[in-house]
């Protein structure tokens, strides 16, 4: 297993561990508004990360990597080798408790909180047609202050190699349809659009 990859002065990519979760959840919140901060849009500050980050660190740690700059968590790249198996595991070991946690809240919720709770309750299984061709999937975020330095490409390529070395035949990801910059970034890496609607694009890469 990779111990640490130096990406720049005091910038490292290393395997994630559960102790990283507070910092990783914060990064997820700080990038949840089209790559920019979303703290002002939510009262439930951990929920977005509990959907999109914590399951990977807790249940697929071999493909979870933390980007750290000056000993501060500033990003992550998270992957899953076998999406079907991962989703089956979450269905019994993660989603029930997480959904129950947010089932009977008394605090004020913002519209974005309500949307996230709806998203949480939709979590389940990916279409068989998608995961048969692209069995792995990934998720990456870097806070705005550390975007534009080339870290993202290095992180993605590192994860893609780890997945491929472990036997993956293809990988997919979900991204916002409004994120033109990310769309171009993934296409340069060889990803193609698999599905698209007004809100979301699914991109895939066959190894």
**pLDDT beneath 70, residues of the chain:** 1-3
Instruction: Say if CB 60 and CB 82 are below 8 A apart.
Output: no
> What confidence score (pLDDT) does residue 1 get?
55
Centroid of chain to Cα 205: 17
> What confidence score (pLDDT) does residue 36 get?
83
pTM of the complete model: 0.94
To which residue do tokens 């999109």 refer?
52
DSSP-assigned letters across all residues of 35-74: TB--GGG-S-TTHHHHHHTHHHHHH-GGGEEEEEETTEEE
State the Cα–Cα distance between residues 202 and 207, nearest whole angstrom. 17
> What confidence score (pLDDT) does residue 179 get?
81
Instruction: Say if CB 141 and CB 27 are below 8 A apart.
Output: yes
The class (CATH top level) of 5-206 is alpha beta
> What confidence score (pLDDT) does residue 177 get?
85
Three-state DSSP class for residue 81:
coil
State the Cα–Cα distance between residues 193 and 177, nearest whole angstrom. 11
The Cβ of residue 150 has, within 10 Å, a number of other Cβ atoms equal to 10
Three-state DSSP class for residue 142:
strand
Instruction: Say if CB 194 and CB 172 are below 8 A apart.
Output: yes
> What confidence score (pLDDT) does residue 189 get?
94
Domain ranges of the chain: 5-206
> What confidence score (pLDDT) does residue 8 get?
87
């Amino acid at each position: 297993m990779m111990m640490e990859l130096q990406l720049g002065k005091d910038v490292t990519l290393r395997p994630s561990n559960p102790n990283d979760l507070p910092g990783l959840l914060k990064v997820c919140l700080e990038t949840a508004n089209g790559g920019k901060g979303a703290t002002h849009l939510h009262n439930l500050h951990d929920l977005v990360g509990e959907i999109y980050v914590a399951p990977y660190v807790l249940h697929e740690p071999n493909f979870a990597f933390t980007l750290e700059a000056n000993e501060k968590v500033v990003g992550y790249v998270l992957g899953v080798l076998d999406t079907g198996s991962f989703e089956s595991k979450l269905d019994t070991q993660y989603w029930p408790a997480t959904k129950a946690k947010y089932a009977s809240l008394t605090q004020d919720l913002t519209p974005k909180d309500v949307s996230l709770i709806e998203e949480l309750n939709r979590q389940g299984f990916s279409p068989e047609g998608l995961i048969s061709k692209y069995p792995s999937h990934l998720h990456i975020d870097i806070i705005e202050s550390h975007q534009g330095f080339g870290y993202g490409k290095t992180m993605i390529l590192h994860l893609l190699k780890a997945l491929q070395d472990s036997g993956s035949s293809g990988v997919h990801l979900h991204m916002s349809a409004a994120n033109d910059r990310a769309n171009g970034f993934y296409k340069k890496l060889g990803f193609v659009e698999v599905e698209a609607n007004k809100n979301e694009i699914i991109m895939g890469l066959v190894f």
